[in-house]
Amino acid sequence: MSKEPGATGALAGKRVIDLTRVLGGPYCTQILGDHGAEIIKVEPPQGDEVRDWGPTFLDGDASYFIGLNRNKRSIGLDLSKPEGREVLLRLLENADVLIENYKPSTLERWGIGYEEVLSQRFPELIHCRISGYGGDGPLGGFPGYDAIIQGTAGWFSVNGTEDTGPTRVGIPMVDMGTGLYAGIAILMAVIERVSSGRGQYIDMTLFDSAVSLMHPYLINYLLSDKVPVATGNAHPNVSPYDKFRSKTVDIFFGCGNDRAFSRLCDVLERPELTEDPRFNTNGGRVTNRLALKEELESALLQRDGEAVCEALLKAGVPAGPVLNTAQMFDHEHTKHREMAISMDSYRMSGIPIKFSRTPGSIRSTPPKFGEHGRDILTEYGFDADEIEALASNDVLVEERRK
C-alpha cells in the first residue's frame, strides 16, 4: 500500500466536492479519496460537528472525525450567503461529483438545486444526496441518525437477547452501509456517464439502506409470516453458528453444512453428535440449538479455545477467538494485511480494497478546519483581492464559529 505523497489510484483525476458531515457521507468520500479521487471537503462555519464528538481527541479534533476524513482538503464556506454559493459554483466547474447531506430542499431553497440549476449548468455533474428518509413520503424531510433508523427499520428487534430486549447494533452500520451504497452508486454513475456523457442525481437514504440490509430477517418473515426475534449471537438460519465458551477464551464458529458439522464433531471428539436425530440436519440443529450448545460447550470447557480454533480452521471450519479492539489491531494478520496503519500520531485502519495495479494510498491525514481554504481558492482562479474580500466578509471561514 503506497503512502507516498502524490500517489495515484483507480480514481486519480476524479474531483469530488464534499458537502457532507457526520458519518455516512464522510465515510463514502474517504473511500473515494483512498483510491485517488481529489476530495475537497466544504465545511459549514461551525465545521463538521463530529470534530467535537469525543473523547478522545488528537490535536483538537475528536476521534470520530479523525476516523473518517483522511485524504481530504478542507475549506470553510458560509453557503447561506450568496457569495458562498457563488464560490461553490466555481468549485463545481471542474468537478465530477457533488455529494451532500443537507436537509432535503436546502440546496433548492438556496437556488442551487439539481434539476433547476446544477444539471443545466453542469450537465456532466453527478449529484449524490444522502438524507435520513428522502424528501417526500410520510417521513420525508425529517432528520435521521443511525440509531433512530436502526429502530425504525427493525434492526433493534433482531439484535440482543431475551434479557436485553431490542438492542442497538454497536457499529453504526446504517450510516456506514449508506456510505458504501453511495460509493457504489457514484461509481455506477461515473461508468454510465462514459457512454451517455451525462451526469445524474442520486437519492440515497439511511432508511432505504437499512431496509435493504435486513437480511435474512426480512425474507424469513416474508416467507413464513413469523415476526423474527433476537437470537443473541446465534444465527437465525444456521446452527451451530454462535459464540461458545472454552476453557480459556470465548470463541465463535459456524457450520454452514453437514460436512462442516461432522468436522467440528471430529475435532471435539464427539462424533456421536452427527448421528443424534436432533442434530443430524441443519433444521434440527436450529430447532434444538440450545441443547446442541450445551453438548458442544461440555467438550469445549475442557479445551484451550485458541487451540480449538486453529484445529477447526485446519479442518476447514470457520472459527476464531472473540477479540477486543486492542487485540484485533495488534493481531499479526491485521498487520500482514496492512490494516493497522501508523503515520506519526495518526493510527487507523488501512485500506480494505486491494488492487493489483492501482493500489489505494494514504496521502494525507485528516485536515484541520479550513486548512486548505486559500490554497483551494487560488487553484480555482481566485486572485488575492477576491480571497481577502471573501475572508473579510466571513464567506471564507478560517476559524470555526461556535
| Residue 213 to residue 195: CA distance in whole angstroms | 31
Q: What is the predicted pLDDT for the residue at 112?
A: 98
| pTM > 0.85: yes or no | yes
pLDDT of residue 203: 98
Q: What is the pLDDT of residue 82?
A: 98
Return d(Cα 31, Cα 20) in angstroms, integer.
14
Residue given cell 442551487 in the structure block: 112
**Cβ neighbours of residue 71 under 8 Å, at least 6 residues apart?**
30, 33, 34, 39, 361, 362, 363, 364
Rounded to 5 degrees, φ, ψ at 110 are -85, 0
Sequence letter at residue 398: E
Domains of the chain and any CATH numbers? 15-213+344-397 (3.40.50.10540), 241-330 (3.30.1540.10)
Q: How far apart are CA 189 and CA 199, in angstroms?
A: 7
Pairing mode, if any, of strands 251-254 and 57-58?
Answer: unpaired
Q: Cis omega before residue 240 (within 30°)?
A: yes
pLDDT, residue 7, reads 53
Element (H, E) at 190: helix 173-196
pLDDT of residue 5: 46
The catalytic residues are 175
C-alpha to C-alpha distance for 100 and 107, rounded to whole angstroms: 9
First to last CA, the chain: 39
The answer to whether residues 302 and 267 touch, using CB atoms and an 8 Å cutoff, is no
Please give the pLDDT value at position 8.
83
Q: What three-state secondary structure class fits 266?
A: helix
Q: C-alpha grid cell for residue 395?
A: 464567506
Q: What are 204's strand-pairing partners?
A: 130
Tens digit of pLDDT at every position of the chain (402 positions): 444 445 589 999 999 999 999 999 999 999 999 999 999 999 999 999 999 999 999 999 999 999 999 999 999 999 999 999 999 999 999 999 999 999 999 999 999 999 999 999 999 999 999 999 999 999 999 999 999 999 999 999 999 999 999 999 999 999 999 999 999 999 999 999 999 999 999 999 999 999 999 999 999 999 999 999 999 999 999 999 999 999 999 999 999 999 999 999 999 999 999 999 999 999 999 999 999 999 999 999 999 999 999 999 999 999 999 999 999 999 999 999 999 999 989 999 999 999 999 999 999 999 999 999 999 999 999 999 999 999 999 999 999 998
Q: Which three cell numbers stand for residue 132?
A: 435520513
CB 231 within 8 A of CB 240: no
Amino acid, single-letter form, for residue 172 = P
Phi, psi of 168, rounded to the nearest 5 degrees = -65, 140
Please report how the helices 258-267 and 305-314 are oriented relative to each other, as an axis angle in degrees rounded to 10: 130
Residue 380: all three cell numbers together: 480555482
Please report the pLDDT score of residue 4 as a whole number. Answer: 43
